[in-house]
Structure 1
Amino acid sequence: MEIRKRQGLTEQELHDIRILADICDALDGIKLKLNWVSLQTRPTQETNDFLIYENGDLVGYLGIYSFQSSEAEISGMVHPLYRRRGMFTQLVDAAVEECRQRGFANILFINHHRSTAGQAFLVARGTKYKVSEHWMRCERTDADLSGFHVRGMSENNVQLRVAREADKELLVQLNVDGFDMKEADSRDYVERTFNSPLEYTYIAEAEGQPIGKLGLTFEEGSAFIYGFCVNPLQRGKGNGRRILVELMNMLQREQGKTRFELEVAVENARALGIYEDCGFRVISANDYYEMIL
């Protein structure tokens, strides 16, 4: 079967990907990580999506996600009735070749923690397990936010504002300090998120001084929080909890959002504790397997 390589996705293709994902999720009892905001805002000058159709139906899909210049992430699926025919191998081969041509140093394959078939495939391909991330969710039911408080939360008066063009250098440095990211990767990441019409970056301030930042998207009824970090000099003071609470209060008050999701590395016990104190609970997990190019 011929692989269709796409630079940007049509509405019909997005619809087909969602139908295939629903079928795979229902049969496998998992939730594939496909990053729907990225799929809706694909750059038209890059090949990031690989699709296989048969008789008008999408039966195989794989996507490349590049948030920084040195590393790509890959996630994909094959219809249950079309598995064990080498289809996913074809998709992976095409995507790996694309990543090589674009000069990525390594690829991270995303595999749901409960997908033993996916794990076996990746091990057979010679990838190495790198890290796991908890997928966490907070469902808020309290309509009165005036007295909302969590254990260990700072009493500082924290304000959140939308990041501006002038904040880019601050965001670059927060990524470097908060995630041990290379400066070049951080600059690429900041530019990509700033240019996305469906991603929002916020700066957290206390007494007029920036103390942290986070990113936000809206997917399937949830507000998804990512790229959250606090200035290293402001850590250990309850500011992380305060920023999260202020964000959830703001979104619930202004947009009626009551469901919030995020991901955190399994070994990051400190961050996990902060999220749990704020009402988040683990609902799933994804494992990341690395291929060096």
Structure 2
Amino acid sequence: MLSKKEINDIKTLQEICEKDGSLQLKLNFDMLETRSDNHKEDFFHYEEGKLAGFLGSYYFGNKVEICGMVNPGYRRRGIFTKLLDLALEEAKKREVRTVLLNAPTESQSAKEFLRNIPCSLTMVEHQMKWHKIELIEDPTIIVRPSFSEEDLEAEIQLDVQCFGLNEKEARQYKLETKDLKTDRRLIIETGGKIAGKMRLSEMNGESWIYGFAIFPELQGKGIGRKALSKVVNIENDKGLSIFLEVEAVNSLALKLYESCGFRSYHSQDYYKVTY
């Protein structure tokens, strides 16, 4: 597990880098604060007792997303290259299939770095924030905690059918994330049958919605919108700011979220690395 000092050092460096570049980094503190000791996933570079560079690896089945930063005063010294080499070495040991480097769309320093490594832009992801509107709930749509083996199997199949993971990857991902203390795994039901799922992460006055999926054969029936409306109302009643993420190419999802009051405010670029 990361120490409190390491977490605080990461947050301090994040603040410096974001202020310098007028951007937002995606560092997944819900995962950073619940790391296990089984794998090496975080890489640090200190100069004179201060954190000058950090890189975090976030594994999702057989895919790893990598995000890092270097203090502006310590750039062009090879620090990020060194950290990335260490992360890629670990990824090779774990035999991951896909390595994605994550950078804020507006980051010019990231674009300059990425020009010099073998990678290609593969995805743009929008962060969206909910702006309060009235959302009508449907009592026939049930959203409840995931707790049974049947629920787990449904979650795995939804990851396979909706997010392109194979079954082995989906099972591995569930095993690796089951102990996240900030997370709540939810099942969506209609007519007494499981229709979909989502995951909520609540931290620091914010609620993030991840992994929202409806079985393909049930899509287009309004189930997703009604389930999302119910969850948003619950989180809003708690006084939390509500966020989610969606790929830019997923126009149907974008329209669904916009119809529920979500607006895009930031984007992240994902580059697939050849290694």
Length-normalised TM-score, structure 2 = 0.95
Q: Which amino acid aligns with 1:87?
A: I
The alignment status of 1:58 with 2:89, answered yes or no, reads no
Contact 2:102 2:270 in 1 (8 A): yes
Aligned pair count reads 274
Q: 2:219 & 2:75 partners in 1: Cα distance?
A: 48
Deviations 1:179-212 (A, max 9, x none): 2221111111222222222221100112321111
Q: 2:112 & 2:49 partners in 1: Cα distance?
A: 30
SS of equivalent to 2:171: helix
Structure 2: any 5+ residue segments left out of the alignment?
Answer: none
Which residue is equivalent to 1:148?
Answer: 135
Contact 1:213 1:228 in 2 (8 A): yes
41 and 288 in structure 1: CA distance in 2 versus 1, 3 angstrom threshold: same
Which residue is equivalent to 1:204?
Answer: 188
Contact 2:125 2:267 in 1 (8 A): yes
Alignment of 1:226-265 (within 5 A): 226-253=210-237, 255-257=238-240, 259-265=241-247
Contact 1:105 1:292 in 2 (8 A): no
Which residue is equivalent to 1:3?
Answer: none
Deviations 1:144-200 (A, max 9, x none): xxx633xxx8x5621111101321111111111122221111111222222222221
Q: Calculate percent identity across the aligned residue pairs.
A: 35
SS of equivalent to 2:209: strand
Q: 1:65 & 1:180 partners in 2: Cα distance?
A: 17
Q: 1:186 & 1:275 partners in 2: Cα distance?
A: 25
Q: 1:209 & 1:249 partners in 2: Cα distance?
A: 23
Q: 2:178 & 2:2 partners in 1: Cα distance?
A: 20
Which residue is equivalent to 1:222?
Answer: 206
Structure 1: any 5+ residue segments left out of the alignment?
Answer: 1-7
Which residue is equivalent to 1:284?
Answer: 266
The alignment status of 1:266 with 2:251, answered yes or no, reads no
Q: Which amino acid aligns with 2:253?
A: A
Contact 2:131 2:263 in 1 (8 A): no
Deviates more, 1:266-275 or 1:92-101: 92-101
SS of equivalent to 1:51: strand
Q: 2:256 & 2:9 partners in 1: Cα distance?
A: 38
Alignment of 1:1-150 (within 5 A): 8-68=1-61, 70-140=62-132, 148-149=135-136
Q: Which amino acid aligns with 2:35?
A: R
Length-normalised TM-score, structure 1 = 0.89
Q: 2:97 & 2:161 partners in 1: Cα distance?
A: 22
Q: Which amino acid aligns with 1:14?
A: I
Alignment RMSD (CA, Å): 1.5
Deviations 1:195-236 (A, max 9, x none): 222221100112321111001102332100000001112111
